């Protein structure tokens, strides 16, 4: 069995265009507060969600948008929820991090690592009520240092729960390099907890799809949990308006208000000169890593999938127009709802 390049591309493109529309709404002030999106993770999500069937469950984290979009949740309901409208997916009370769609057995939480226990709960219920069904937990590599996630992996192994743990690793825990706060090897850690573990290029949807297929078959047949460790890049940083990327992209404007306080801190009392120099050096280092990530356009999973399509350019254009229209209709519906509520 081989993946359908067109189906996977449609899902990835739909997620990308939806999140681009959400970004515009956020920039225009229609959506308040933080917004963590899945740009750069599309191949990981599509490669996994393509195997999800009715009765399977999704336990999501603060980047739950892409899985919900690809699972078929109504786009207008999602946008209304982000806007805080009462006719949103969760009556406007979930924002973008705490979402629940009973119809799709999908739930998200902004608590780091919480997708592990949630997935084990889904999987335990499946063992007793829906044999052959699977639960998927999505999370970032920083969550692997949370006790409840490791405890969940241990329990899933001990009870042979049908769970697929999907780690989306961009190498950064917000602004901290993950290798500075994570000891050992994540694959070895997962294997030590009893899970079958696989390392993946998370920008290659076909590689993810094949590994996920193996994991789903194992879980459905009672073989226990699998840990998929997939690398990726977050081109928009940790969240929309990421301060590091703002400085990298518009240094003159963004640094104008920051240089004086930094210089004052470096020349007045407090820590020693060597400690202050080290702190300034770490700031420069963070900016350097952000700049490097900002230049990694070649890692765009959506762009990488286009050459894999077997359809003509005209057919691809039709596919993209259909998706664009679907996203535009959802945005228009949400804005109408907001306007009607004053």
Torsion-angle region of 41 (φ positive above 0: left; ψ -120 to 50: alpha; else: beta): alpha
Average pLDDT over residues 7-11: 98
What domain count does the chain have? Answer: 2
Q: Which domain holds residue 285?
A: 243-294
Please tell me the predicted confidence (pLDDT) of residue 301: 95
The reply to whether 183 and 280 lie within a common domain is no
Please tell me the predicted confidence (pLDDT) of residue 235: 85
Tell me which of 24 and 243 has the higher pLDDT. 24
- Give the CATH number for residue 38: 3.40.50.970
The reply to whether 139 and 287 lie within a common domain is no
The reply to whether 16 and 78 lie within a common domain is yes
The reply to whether 259 and 167 lie within a common domain is no
The reply to whether 307 and 202 lie within a common domain is yes
Average pLDDT over residues 114-122: 98
- Separation between Cα atoms, residue 194 and residue 199, nearest integer Å: 16
Average pLDDT over residues 260-264: 59
The reply to whether 197 and 317 lie within a common domain is yes
The pTM for the full model equals 0.88
Lowest mean pLDDT among 9-18, 85-94, 171-180, 326-335: 171-180
Lowest mean pLDDT among 81-85, 192-196, 271-275, 294-298: 294-298
The reply to whether 173 and 289 lie within a common domain is no
Please tell me the predicted confidence (pLDDT) of residue 279: 54
Which of helix, strand or coil describes residue 273?
helix
Return the axis-axis angle of helices 5-27 and 313-340, rounded to nearest 10°.
Answer: 40
Structure tokens at 244: 């590091």
Degrees, nearest 5: CA angle 305-303-1 = 10
> Per residue in 13-63, pLDDT tens?
999 999 999 999 999 999 998 899 999 999 999 999 999 999 999 999 999
């Amino acid at each position: 069995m081989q993946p359908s390049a067109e189906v996977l591309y449609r899902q990835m493109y739909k997620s990308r265009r939806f999140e681009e529309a959400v970004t515009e709404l956020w920039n225009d002030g229609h959506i308040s507060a933080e917004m963590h999106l899945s740009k750069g993770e599309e191949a990981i999500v599509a490669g996994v969600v393509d195997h999800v069937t009715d009765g399977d469950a999704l336990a999501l984290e603060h980047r739950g948008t892409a899985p919900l979009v690809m699972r078929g949740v109504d786009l207008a309901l999602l946008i209304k929820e982000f806007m805080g409208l009462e006719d949103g997916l969760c009556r406007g009370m979930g924002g973008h991090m705490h979402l629940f769609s009973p119809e799709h057995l999908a739930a998200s939480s902004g608590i780091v690592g919480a997708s592990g226990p949630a997935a084990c709960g889904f999987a335990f219920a499946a063992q007793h009520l829906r044999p052959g069904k699977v639960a998927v937990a999505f999370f970032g590599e920083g969550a692997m240092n949370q006790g409840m996630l490791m405890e969940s992996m241990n329990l899933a192994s001990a009870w042979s729960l049908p769970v697929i743990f999907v780690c989306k690793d961009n190498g950064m825990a917000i602004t901290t390099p993950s290798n500075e706060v994570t000891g050992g090897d994540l694959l070895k850690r997962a294997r030590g907890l009893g899970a079958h573990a696989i390392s993946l290029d998370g920008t290659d949807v076909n590689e993810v799809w094949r590994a996920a297929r193996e994991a789903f078959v194992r879980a459905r047949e009672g073989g226990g949990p699998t840990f998929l460790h997939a690398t990726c890049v977050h081109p928009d940083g940790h969240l929309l308006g990421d301060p590091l990327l703002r400085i990298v992209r518009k240094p003159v404007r963004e640094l104008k208000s920051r240089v004086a306080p930094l210089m004052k801190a470096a020349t007045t009392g407090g820590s020693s000169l060597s400690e202050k120099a080290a702190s300034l050096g770490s700031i420069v280092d963070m900016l350097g890593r952000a700049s490097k990530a900002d230049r990694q356009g070649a890692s765009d999973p959506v762009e990488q999938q286009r050459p894999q399509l077997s359809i003509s350019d005209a057919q691809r254009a039709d596919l993209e127009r259909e998706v664009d229209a679907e996203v535009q209709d959802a945005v228009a519906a949400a804005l109408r709802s907001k306007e009607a509520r004053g």
